[in-house]
Amino acid sequence: MKEHNWIKIALTPFSWVYGLITNLRNLCYDYRLFSSGRPSQFVISIGNLTVGGTGKTPVTEYLTKLFSNKIPTAILSRGYGRKTRGFLLADPASTPSGIGDEPMQYFLKFYPDVTVAVSENRFKGAETIAVSDPDKKLLLLDDAFQHRAIARDVNLLLNDFQRPFYKDLPFPAGRLRENRNGARRADAIIVTKTPALLADDVRKDITMQLQRYSRPETPVFFSFIEYGQPESYAGDVLSLKKVKMAAGIANPLPFSAHLRARFDVTDEVVFRDHHNYTSADVEELIKNLKNDTFVVTTEKDMVKLKPLVEALGVAGKFAYIPVTVSFGSDTGRFHEWIFKQTAHLFQAER
C-alpha cells in the first residue's frame, strides 16, 4: 500500500502536466480555435472522465430501448479494440474483431431496427450514417465525452459510484482522461453502479461533491445494475449451482461479487479489458471442468467467445449473465428530463 502511494506521489507532477494539456485542448474548443462539426442528427453523447468501466454500455442500451421504438436511432462508437480502421457499418457478417465487442453487442440486440456503426472520426461517421440512413434522426455516441470534434445536443457524463472522478487524478497518477473540471460540459451526470438502496444523505453528499465540478444547474441521477438470470450461449434461461467465472472487463469485482452471492464459484479467471479470446483460451477454461459446472461470463465476453465455443463444440458448457441498468426511484425524473431535451424530435415524427 505504501509503495503504491509513493508511486502515485511520484507520478502526480506528470498528472499536472497531462491535466494542463487537456485543459488547453478544451479551451481551444471553448474559444472555437478548434472546430466542432454539427451532424444532421440529434446527438446524445454517453461518456465519462475515467478510463474504462463506468457502465457506458448498459446506459447506451437503456437509451436505445427508450427511444428506438419512437425515433429512428443509430449508435456510433469508436469500436475500441477492433482490428480494423475507418468507418464500418455493422451487418450480419460483422465480427467483434472487425467492429469491437460493444458495437457487436449492440448489433446483436437491436438489429435491424437500429443502425450500428464504428468510426474513429465521429463527425465523419455521423455524416456517413446520414447519407446511408437518412431516416435516423437520433444518434447515440458511445464513449465520446472527450471527442469534441463532433457537436452534441445532450452530453451525459457517467460517474462510477465505487470510483468517483472527484476522488481521482488525471493519468498517469490516476485514471482520469482530463481534469475534473471537464464535468462542466455535462448536461446531466449519471451515477452508475450504486447499491439498489442508497440512503438519502449519501445521495446528497455525492450530488454535492459532483456539483463542485459541474455547472450548478446540472441534474444528477442515480442508477444501479440489475443482473438477469443466467442464459446459455443459445439464449435459454438456466438454473445453475456451480460456476467458473471468466471475465475480460475493466472492473470484474461487481460481477464476481454477484456470482459469489448466488452460486458456488469454483474458480475465477480474469482477462484484461477487451481481451481477444482464442481457441486456446477456451480450451484452458474448460480444462478439468466438471460436468455440473458452467463457465459463466459477462455478456460482452459472450459476444466474442460464442463463435469459438460453437466451433469447438463446447457451447453447452458456457453461460452468461445479462445486465441492464435501472434508475430506480430516479426513473420518472430521468425520463422527464431526457424527454424534455428531445421533445422536438417527437413533434417532428407526428
CATH number at residue 256: 3.40.50.10700
pLDDT band at residue 234 under the 50/70/90 scheme: confident
Q: What does the pLDDT look like over 257-314, one tens digit per residue?
A: 999 999 999 999 999 998 999 999 999 999 999 999 999 999 999 999 999 999 999 9
Annotated ligand binding at 50? The verdict is yes
Shared domain check, 204 and 76 = yes
Tell me, rounded to whole angstroms, the distance of Cα 181 from its chain centroid: 21
Beta strand extents in 143-298 (DSSP E only) = 154-160, 188-192, 220-222, 224-227, 231-232, 242-247, 264-270, 293-298
**Average of per-residue pLDDT values in the chain:** 95
Annotated ligand binding at 73? The verdict is no
Asked if residue 187 is part of any domain, the answer here is yes
Annotated ligand binding at 53? The verdict is yes
Shared domain check, 307 and 273 = yes
- The answer to whether the beta carbons of residues 329 and 277 sit under 8 Å apart is no
**What's residue 53's pLDDT?**
79
Asked if residue 234 is part of any domain, the answer here is yes
Residue 192 forms beta bridges with which residues? 160
Q: What does the pLDDT look like over 128-157, one tens digit per residue?
A: 999 999 999 999 999 999 999 999 999 999
Q: What is the 3-state secondary structure (H, E, C) of 323-344?
A: EEEECHHHHHHHHHHHHHHCHH
**CATH code, 156:** 3.40.50.300
Annotated ligand binding at 51? The verdict is yes
What is the mean pLDDT of the segment spanning 19-45? 97
Asked if residue 6 is part of any domain, the answer here is no
pLDDT at 9 over 90: no
3-state SS class at 10: helix
Shared domain check, 115 and 186 = yes
What is the mean pLDDT of the segment spanning 163-168? 96
- Please report how many Cα atoms fall inside a 13 Å half-sphere around the Cα of residue 64, on the Cβ side: 27
**What's residue 350's pLDDT?**
55
- The answer to whether the beta carbons of residues 59 and 159 sit under 8 Å apart is no
Helix (H) or strand (E) holding 260: helix 253-262
Q: What does the pLDDT look like over 114-131, one tens digit per residue?
A: 999 999 999 999 999 999
Asked if residue 133 is part of any domain, the answer here is yes
Residue 142 cell numbers, joined: 458511445
Asked if residue 7 is part of any domain, the answer here is no
Shared domain check, 197 and 74 = yes
**What's residue 1's pLDDT?**
46
Shared domain check, 214 and 198 = yes
pLDDT band at residue 347 under the 50/70/90 scheme: confident
Asked if residue 25 is part of any domain, the answer here is no
Shared domain check, 235 and 158 = no
pLDDT at 67 over 50: yes
Shared domain check, 273 and 164 = no
Per-residue DSSP letter, 40:
S
Shared domain check, 164 and 147 = yes
Cα(249)–Cα(231) distance, integer angstroms: 19
Cα distances (Å, whole numbers) of residue 226 to 67, 146, 301, 318, 330: 20, 28, 18, 21, 15
What is the mean pLDDT of the segment spanning 87-94? 97
Tell me, rounded to whole angstroms, the distance of Cα 3 from its chain centroid: 31
Number of domains within the chain:
2
Higher-confidence residue: 7 or 102?
102
Cα(112)–Cα(140) distance, integer angstroms: 16
Helix (DSSP H) and strand (DSSP E) numbers for the chain: 11, 15
Shared domain check, 204 and 191 = yes
Tell me the residue range of the domain where 166 lies.
42-225+326-349
Place of cell 468510426: 119
Shared domain check, 237 and 201 = no
Annotated ligand binding at 79? The verdict is no
pLDDT at 349 over 80: no
Annotated ligand binding at 65? The verdict is no
Pairing type for strands 220-222 and 188-192 reads: parallel
Compute how many other C-beta atoms are within 10 angstroms of the C-beta atom of residue 196.
Answer: 9
pLDDT band at residue 187 under the 50/70/90 scheme: very high
Asked if residue 342 is part of any domain, the answer here is yes
Shared domain check, 174 and 65 = yes
Annotated ligand binding at 2? The verdict is no
pLDDT at 3 over 60: no
What is the mean pLDDT of the segment spanning 178-185? 97
* Exposure class string for 256-294: b at 16+ Cβ within 10 A, else e: eeebeeebebeeeeeeebbbebeeebbeebbeebeeebb
Shared domain check, 136 and 155 = yes
Annotated ligand binding at 57? The verdict is yes
Asked if residue 35 is part of any domain, the answer here is no
